[in-house]
Amino acid sequence: MYYILCEMSPLKEAASFLNMVRQKRGYSESADVKFNNDEERIRALDLEYRKEFYAEGQYFFFLKRHAFTTFNNCPIENFGKPQYVFPLPDAEKEYGWTPPSENEENGSDNQ
């Protein structure tokens, strides 16, 4: 919850939420983080999400929420929609409801 508060609060308040978590984890007050801009806040949160949510999937959604196009040790140069949005399964396309394609919305179905 404190990470969410840190993401959404004004810069002056945001660091206090992150520092609360860090102090509960055993960091000394001398290691408190300070933000001068939004980029520094996101960078600090990025490091915290990596440590706190290792292998839980939350880090993926953090990256997606902040439109990261690359991150450490990633073999893909520029992340985009193909990496963040899974394709619909063939069975869903064949038997289930699917949203209309762009061609159908424009009235120019070229099949």
**Residue 101: inside a domain:** no
Residue 107 included in any domain: no
Both structure tokens of 76: 């893909």
Task: Tell me how far apart the alpha carbons of residues 92 and 22 are, in angstroms, rounded to a whole number.
Answer: 44
Q: Which residue range(s) make up the domain with 52?
A: 1-96
Classify residue 76: in a domain, yes or no: yes
What are phi and psi for residue 70, nearest 5 degrees? -160, 160
In a domain, 27, yes or no: yes
**Cα–Cα distance measured from residue 78 to residue 76, given in angstroms and rounded to the nearest whole number:** 6
What was the pLDDT predicted at 34? Answer: 84
Domains: count for the chain: 1
Residue 60 lies in a domain: yes
For residue 104, is it within any domain? no
Q: What is the residue-level pLDDT of the chain in tens, covering all 111 positions?
A: 888 878 888 888 888 888 888 888 887 777 778 888 888 888 888 888 888 888 888 887 788 887 777 776 666 777 777 777 888 888 777 777 666 666 555 555 554
Residue 108 inside a domain? The answer is: no
